[in-house]
Structure 1
């Protein structure tokens, strides 16, 4: 009964009765199971979620070596750990918003409520250099709907000679992206620009356009767990079928690609609706080794051919 009747007292109790990192990891994971939290913003289970929040409070980074597990915490450290666990349960926000950091493609990024938490399977493609589809090193890259800037910045690491444009409709998101550009020391070749799709990119051509745009349909938006509703709706919702933005992108992208350019777009669960809406478009759907789906690839030539045929 104490679990539901006196929530604050059990957190206070943890502060006084638990002592080691092991204690707090076990307790945090148990609390998360009891609270029926949703995972999917960097972790997929209660133990990893607890590890992320406990270690953040201790200024440590996962994974934790076993020899640290029985280290005893100070009173201040225990209070910080319990505060992180309590916020995660009571506010139902992604852990990354509590820690202020998320990892993508093996790189750390500053995140907060102004941007989605990085979690795209595109990281796997970036690490592979978009092989086998990208046949030469791109010189000009566009990360459309950049949010935190994680996709474009990861591309900048993968292609050290490329210039990368980060674009987003949200000035709030771009402020976070600018912070990450500075954090990674990439301000000489990674740039942030406010634009609704290609509105402020006239005259530019890119060898690679990568986009993780809003693609959640109305039904899915209505049924998403609380953790998703803590994220900016602008980065998630895209009309009744989730394809409002992607339709515009397919219509306009060819004009912004170089002759041998490549368009890579994540549409997640909306991929069947997209495939049904454009049966004549020769989408290549990427198969991922480490999980994820709903990412398509189209070449500039395929898009231009489709335009001439009136397909897009």
Structure 2
């Protein structure tokens, strides 16, 4: 079958290991099923995999991709939940210490077909296209969990989204505005600040700028470059929800004194559960909110999409279609 996969790993030149070609049809273990992929979206995870983060040489070749929407074996339109938990695990699968994501231990979604545990298949609302639905399982689900499960925000509260432009940040801006939060966003890029307002931010600021008011929560995926600003922008008792560190995980100042003296909360968040993915899909269906798509490309042009992730030029999600 046609697939896009990591044939080798290079931390400095990740795209050099990308291969577009043929792979064997997937084997289907007991309790698993096959989804015919119609669309799949790119995440930072795919670039990290090509750099060797979470993916070792012994696992190669590995088909990339966490997200997909397509048809199950009965022809039903479905989403693929990317978190693979141990079959014996009960409860929140993101807390399973043995969990993995598709394309880490198990072949990913950038292919004609992908196999997943039957429990990882979620019905796609008819109102969402395959292209739109393919954006949800990683970036949009991560943003949904950060906002609605971890942050403690209430309608009318104020949230700061750092680093407008990436998939999680644009999802957080859109979802937060639809949920009735006041939304601030930051970016180093003037065009991205303008576009952040267009998709729902009440105001957008240059990275590190003083905000008009202290915020109730911060959606933090940038890491070292924005950490100090996130802490300084938050009201006493507020919450930083962190789900990534694309600029590194060692900020120049940890701001520990400010955090404990002002009784702030730091809440880690990773992906989301199957139930949250179902809730997100229903939220999108009911509200009419749709993912912001930077580009839609045929899957054989995956390298172009991954290059936009590497150089940071994207705004929203890049979707690969078959």
TM-score range for the pair, normalised by the shorter chain length: 0.3 to 0.5
TM-score, L = length of structure 2: 0.37
Name the larger-Rg structure: 1
Higher strand content, 1 or 2: 2
Q: Which structure has the highest helix share of the two?
A: 1
Greater relative contact order, per chain length (Cα 8 Å cut-off, separation 6+): 2
